[in-house]
Amino acid sequence: MKRMLMLVFVFLALSLSPAYTYWVWTPKTGKFINPKTLPKSTPKEQFDYSKAFMDKKDYKSAKREFLKLLKNYPKSFEASEAQYYLGVIEEDEERLYEAYKAYQKVIDKYPFSERIAEVNSREYNIAEAFVSGVERKAMGITLPVENPAIEILNKVIENSSYGPLASKAQYKLGLVLKGLLNYYEAEEAFNKVVTNYPDSEWAAPAKFQLADCRAALSRGPDYDQGATREAKDKFESFVQEHPDAVLSTEAKKNINRLREQEAEGNYNAARFYEKQKAFQSAEIYYNEVMNNYSDSPWAAKAFERLRIMENRK
Mean pLDDT of all residues in 220-232: 74
Residue 27 has pLDDT above 70, yes or no: no
Residue 33 has pLDDT above 50, yes or no: yes
Q: CA 249 to CA 263: how far, in whole Å?
A: 22
Which amino acid belongs to residue 208? F
Domains in the chain (CATH in brackets) are 1-38 (no CATH), 40-160 (1.25.40.10)
Confidence of residue 207 (pLDDT cuts 50, 70, 90): very high
Q: What is the mean pLDDT of the chain?
A: 85
Mean pLDDT of all residues in 38-60: 94
Q: CA 65 to CA 172: how far, in whole Å?
A: 37
List residues bridging with 138 in a β-sheet.
141
Other Cβ atoms less than 10 A from the Cβ of 161: the count is 9
Under DSSP, the state recorded for 143 is P
List residues bridging with 31 in a β-sheet.
26
Beta strands 141-142 and 31-33: pairing type?
unpaired
Is 188 exposed, middle or buried, given 0-12, 13-18 or 19+ CB atoms closer than 10 A? middle
pTM, 2 dp: 0.76
Confidence of residue 23 (pLDDT cuts 50, 70, 90): low
* pLDDT for res 16: 46
CA angle 29, 80, 120 (to 5 degrees): 150
Confidence of residue 60 (pLDDT cuts 50, 70, 90): very high
* pLDDT higher at 268 or 6: 268
* pLDDT for res 134: 64
Q: Per residue in 140-154, pLDDT tens?
A: 555 556 689 999 999
Which amino acid belongs to residue 98? E
- Tell me the range of 7-21, 65-79, 226-240, 277-291 where mean pLDDT is highest: 65-79
* pLDDT for res 135: 57
Q: CA 303 to CA 305: how far, in whole Å?
A: 6
* pLDDT for res 141: 53
Q: Per residue in 271-304, pLDDT tens?
A: 888 788 888 888 888 888 888 888 888 888 888 8
Q: Which residues have a Cβ under 8 Å from the Cβ of 26 and sit 6 or more positions away?
A: 32, 33
Q: Are 235 and 193 contacting, i.e. CB atoms less than 8 angstroms apart?
A: no
* pLDDT for res 25: 52
* pLDDT for res 3: 55
Phi-psi region of 203 (alpha: psi -120 to 50; beta: other; left: phi over 0): alpha
* pLDDT for res 35: 57
* pLDDT higher at 37 or 221: 37
Rg (CA), the chain: 33
Q: Which residues have a Cβ under 8 Å from the Cβ of 22 and sit 6 or more positions away?
A: 13, 14, 16, 34, 35
Q: Per residue in 155-175, pLDDT tens?
A: 999 998 768 899 999 999 999
* pLDDT higher at 184 or 1: 184
Q: CA 105 to CA 88: how far, in whole Å?
A: 13
Q: By C-alpha distance, which of 158, 197, 157, 153 is closest to 179? A: 153
* pLDDT higher at 14 or 105: 105
